[in-house]
Amino acid sequence: MSQQQTWSQRFESALHPAIAIFNASIGFDIELIEYDLTGSIAHAKMLAHSRIIPPEEAEQLVQGLEQIRQEYKNGQFTPGIEAEDVHFAVEKRLTEITGDVGKKLHTARSRNDQVGTDIRLYLRDKIKAICTDIRKFQQTLLQIAEQNVEILIPGYTHLQRAQPISLAHHLLAYFQMLQRDFERLQDVYKRVNISPLGSGALAGTTFPIDRHYTAELLHFDGVYANSLDGVSDRDFAIEFLGAASIIMVHLSRLSEEVILWSSEEFRFVKLTDSCATGSSIMPQKKNPDVPELVRGKTGRVCGHLQGLLMLMKGLPLAYNKDLQEDKEALFDTVKTVTACLEAMTILFEEGIEFQTKRLAEAVAEDFSNATDVADYLAARGIPFREAYNLVGKVVKTCLAEGKLLKDLSLLEWQQLHPAFSEDIYDAIAPRQVVAARNSYGGTGFEQVKSAIANARVQIEVQS
């Protein structure tokens, strides 16, 4: 199809070949073909429902569109650059199948509201799929957490040893991040699931269409109340990219921890062969490629968000060709987030092994129980700030003498303050330090078990 055939007789010559290639989007918007066909079928049925075309012609259109769907699935329909975009490609093929009836499909519809509908149908499906992937990863984290409630791991602030915590508690923090991601996408879905179909190019149409009928056929929750907004709005896409960026940031943070944990300096986890690679020159190395790639791909998704924000910031109403640039960002983000969620799920299912012996050593070789010494004194009536300063002094002394708090004799404790007694050793044992933090949401073992049970219920209720 030449540009002269595509457009009206207003044009006297075809596009320059290089401009035709530059202008075309068929190379990537073919991704929308199933949604374009679904939206067009609903539009054809509405035209008959509103008595704009006869029912038999609508049936011909529907049958023709379903034939194109089958041809595409079978690899028989492969439009090239001459089609410019998926919408024209479908219309051209439909006309070949149904004759002049095919030319009626575009009645009371613009490519502007057509593409807006396609994108929303596409994104609606992808949000559901990503939510399913989030649930799978959450289930994996929960399973590992259940197996490691009483395994301890150093907790950090400023990447400095802070307090020992339950490994399950650490993993449940990421469960909660993913839970917010899930709920955020559910909220975005509400604004994706509004139909722009019937907005026309920008001002509606003179035909007696029924926009609510097509919205119902396509399972939209409602329709855009303003036709200008209907064809130009990409807030929903920006929101999705924002939600996707936050998902990637959460995955990236977890990836960074796995990278650190697998290093020789930490040795908290061991990478299995199924999820690690080697070096081309250093035979001893096992590299954490999966979390490194996830960490790297995060910048790419965040970049798509920034790109769409900059795309939209200067656009006057209503539709502008700039909006063609929204699709590749959306498509790539969906594919990237999906791949990263799958990879991280596999990594935690079979790619890492927690080194429990090393973890036990790690929580016993530092001063992360110092706060518990201060709490011990505070529980015996000593003002916390005074207790805090006393413990700071004893830590300083221990560091100078190469000791840990557990190495101090009872006499040394009592010289520090007479409130200390034999039970100080139990109070500062790593397991007791963790178990004692039984406030709601804390790392105490009973709290962690309760959190796991609540998480199970939460998933079941919201699935």
- Residues assigned a catalytic role: 158, 279
Longest distance between any two alpha carbons in the chain, whole Å = 101
CA angle 448, 454, 456 (to 5 degrees): 105
User: Distances in Å between the alpha carbon of 264 and those of 19, 307, 366?
Assistant: 55, 39, 18
The structure tokens 């924002």 sit at 242
The candidate with the shortest Cα–Cα distance to 265, out of 354, 339, 358, 345, is 358
The structure tokens 């219309």 sit at 91
End-to-end CA distance of the chain: 47
Q: What is the DSSP letter of 83?
A: G
299 class by beta-carbon count within 10 Å (0-12 exposed, 13-18 middle, 19+ buried)? exposed
The candidate with the shortest Cα–Cα distance to 84, out of 5, 198, 147, 151, is 5
What is the Cα–Cα distance from 423 to 433, expressed in whole angstroms? 13
User: Distances in Å between the alpha carbon of 458 and those of 89, 136, 167, 179?
Assistant: 45, 14, 21, 9
Q: Contacts by 99-104 with C-beta closer than 8 Å and gap 24+?
A: 101/57, 101/60, 101/61, 101/64, 102/61, 102/64, 104/47, 104/53, 104/57, 104/61
156 forms beta bridges with 161
Name residues whose C-beta falls within 8 Å of residue 441's C-beta, 6 or more positions apart in sequence: 447, 451
Q: Which two structure tokens, joined as six digits, stand for 386? A: 């005074």
**In b/e form, how buried is each residue of 11-33, taking b as 16+ CB within 10 angstroms?**
eeeebeeeeeeeebbbeebbbbb
Determine phi and psi for 50, rounding to 5 degrees: -90, 5
What is the Cα–Cα distance from 312 to 232, expressed in whole angstroms? 9
Residue 338 CB coordination number (10 Å)? 16
How many Cα atoms are found within 13 Å in the side-chain-facing hemisphere of 46?
Answer: 25
